[in-house]
Amino acid sequence: MRLGLVIDLDVCVGCHACAIACKEWNASGTIGPLSDYQPYGAEPSGVWFNRIRHYEMDEYPNNKTVNFPMSCMHCEDADCVTVCPTGASYKRAEDGIVLIDQDKCMGCNYCSWACPYGARELDRSSGTMKKCTLCVDRIYDQELPVEERQPSCVLTCPAHARMFGDFDDPDSAVSRTVRERGGFPLMPELNYNPTNTYLPPRRKPVIPVDTQPKGGLKESIKQFANKLVRR
Amino acid sequence: MHPAFSVIFFTVASGAGFGLFSLLFIADFFKLGGGFNQDQLVAGGLIAMGLVVFGLLSSTFHLANPKNAWRAMSRFRTSWLSREGVFAIVFMPLALLYLGSIMFDAPQWLRVGSGFLTAVLAWITVFSTGMIYACLKTIRQWNTPLVPANYLALGYASGSLLLLLGAVIAGLDTTPYIAMSALIMAIAAVLKAIYYFWIRSPGLSPTINTATGLTRAKVKLLDTGHTHGTFLTQEFGFQIARQKAGLLKLVVFAVGFALPGLMMVWVFNQEGGHVAAVVAAVAGILGAAVERWLFFAEARHVVNLYHGAQRC
């Protein structure tokens, strides 16, 4: 099994609900808490497993805002695991989830240097590195109904921009969607072979901007009068 | 990259310590300039080991959870950080064996054998320190074989200046020590110059386009999505102005290489004496520290592509 996420950049509305749901679940999850520093102060900061950036693609009038959620990519060739000197970072053989053993981590930050995606964040209160667990404490929970055995971010997404599944199975929903929509990994040139895959924004017709009807003489006089008369 | 002072101190001090120890073995083996006596060799060796130990201890100050530091030896097979730790630890008993065989007049084969092994191990340890940085694909300024070469050359250059100081204090013939130091300093300066030249061009590094996968058009960041700084901006956001970096490179060459070179000429001409040798050693190590600070400050991690950089 190779579990991971598909993120649809075409439909993501950038509401940050996935980040909030992630924080809520994982703050009390296996790797929690996710410490906040000055949450109500002047410089609020803290540990998050999921961060959403906002980009603009191309230039007016072809421009488009792309909302860009990012969490751990659960890479096949995860350097964060191989550089770890203590053995705290590991990748599970059975499902490919990359995790950090909080009891072994010495907080040297080296794994975060090796990660190109900024997926790992140091928790300053526990002194250990933390990262997305793919909600490993949800997806195998037999107490939950089958349809809820998914990462919190996927369950909560109001736009259905996130999918969870097994990339090793060619007939899984994620594999099929990636094939049909031309999904891509981020920074493939670094050869980390990330599992999480992004779906590109669809091509949309450009909205014409010069179709306003020309006013004619009557309209021009009206506009001239409007400028003169102070309402 | 954020330049952490504990790591800068660690790499400079332990580099100088390892360099000093292995050059001390060479000086002992060839009896350079008449050769140090027993006590002087042991004192020099202990100073070198002290530098290494202080360096290793200071490196634990940047750990957020140092109580687990002992576990850092456990991933020798994959992690350069782990290897560096293991080699540094193995270095200690071997170095003590060498110093002991000097002190207690052990048979020559033991003295030479342990000294040679210690010198090789010192070389491997400094190489491992360089590889900690050079193996990261995420930072193009580090991901080059010039990095371990620089670490070795600068460590040995600092060590050779300390050894020259020792030779001056011991009243030996300084000519072979000056020759050795001048050669190592010249190699270190040239390697550093090549490094600075090499990192100027970005080459085939990732861009904001490959980082987002939006490769068909210009892409720019609108919003990072966080209210204030995060761990990522604190650790990787550090940026140094190009002008300031250029100025510091001048300092590296002027203080780290030119000044010790000038002082060596004075020592060679029998002028200045102790003071010139002290200035040479202090300037060399100071230059190495500035170089190390710049090494971190100039490194640009690819995560900055998600914080607005177009290219790293």
- The rounded percent of chain B whose pLDDT value lies above 90 is 90
- The backbone torsions φ and ψ at residue A42, rounded to the nearest 5 degrees and listed phi first, read -75, -30
Does the structure show a pLDDT above 90 at A34? Answer: yes
* Banded pLDDT at A32 (limits 50, 70, 90): confident
Q: Mean pLDDT over residues B59-68, rounded?
A: 91
- Residue A164: closest CA among A210, A133, A120: A133
pTM, entire model: 0.92
Of the candidates B1, B65, B231, the beta carbon closest to that of A105 is on B65
In the DSSP assignment, the letter for residue A38 is S
Is the bond leading into A69 cis (omega within 30 degrees of zero)?
Answer: no
How close B178 comes to chain A (CA, Å)?
A: 39
CB-CB neighbors (< 8 A) of A71 in chain B: none
Of the candidates B68, B222, B302, the beta carbon closest to that of A187 is on B302
Q: In this complex, do A122 and B303 lie within 8 Å of one another by their Cβ atoms?
A: no
Which residue in this structure is represented by tokens 């099929």? A176
> Contact B95/B120 with Cβ under 8 angstroms?
no
Q: What is the pLDDT of residues A61-120, one digit of tens each?
A: 888 999 999 999 999 999 999 999 999 999 999 999 999 999 999 999 999 999 999 999
| Model ipTM value | 0.92
* Banded pLDDT at B165 (limits 50, 70, 90): very high
- Residue B102: closest CA among B90, B88, B91, B112: B112
- The backbone torsions φ and ψ at residue A219, rounded to the nearest 5 degrees and listed phi first, read -65, -40
CB-CB neighbors (< 8 A) of A117 in chain B: 303, 306
Which residues fall within 8 angstroms of residue B185, CB to CB, at 6 or more apart?
A: B157, B160, B161, B257, B260, B261, B284
- The backbone torsions φ and ψ at residue A166, rounded to the nearest 5 degrees and listed phi first, read -100, 115
Q: CB contact, 8 Å: B210 with chain A? A: yes
User: In Å, what is the CA distance from B219 to each residue of B19, B72, B94, B209?
Assistant: 48, 41, 56, 7
Q: What is the pLDDT of residue B36?
A: 93
* Banded pLDDT at A134 (limits 50, 70, 90): very high
Q: How many CB pairs under 8 A join A and B?
A: 183
- The rounded percent of chain B whose pLDDT value lies above 70 is 100
Is the bond leading into A151 cis (omega within 30 degrees of zero)?
Answer: no
Does the structure show a pLDDT above 80 at A211? Answer: no
User: In Å, what is the CA distance from B133 to each residue of B300, B301, B309?
Assistant: 12, 12, 22
Sign of the torsion formed by the C-alpha atoms of B296, B299, B303 and B309: positive
- Residue B11: closest CA among B187, B135, B155: B155
| Structural domains of chain A, with CATH | 3-199 (3.30.70.20)
Q: Mean pLDDT over residues B274-278, rounded?
A: 93
> Contact B166/B176 with Cβ under 8 angstroms?
no
How close B219 comes to chain A (CA, Å)?
A: 5
Q: What is the largest CA-CA distance in chain B?
A: 74
Measured CA to CA, the distance from residue A139 to residue A17 in angstroms comes to 19
Burial of A226 (0-12, 13-18, 19+ CB in 10 A): exposed
Measured CA to CA, the distance from residue B187 to residue A51 in angstroms comes to 46
Range from A138-152, B194-208, B261-275 carrying the lowest mean pLDDT? B261-275
Return the residue of B nearest to A82 by Cα. B78
Mutate which of B83, B140, B214 to disrupt the A interface (most A C-beta within 10 Å)? B214
Q: What is the pLDDT of residues B253-264, one digit of tens each?
A: 999 999 999 999
Q: What is the pLDDT of residues B92-110, one digit of tens each?
A: 999 999 999 999 999 999 9
Which residues fall within 8 angstroms of residue A18, CB to CB, at 6 or more apart?
A: A50, A52, A69, A152, A153, A154, A156, A157, A162
| Structural domains of chain B, with CATH | 5-307 (1.20.1630.10)
Q: In this complex, do A115 and B303 lie within 8 Å of one another by their Cβ atoms?
A: yes
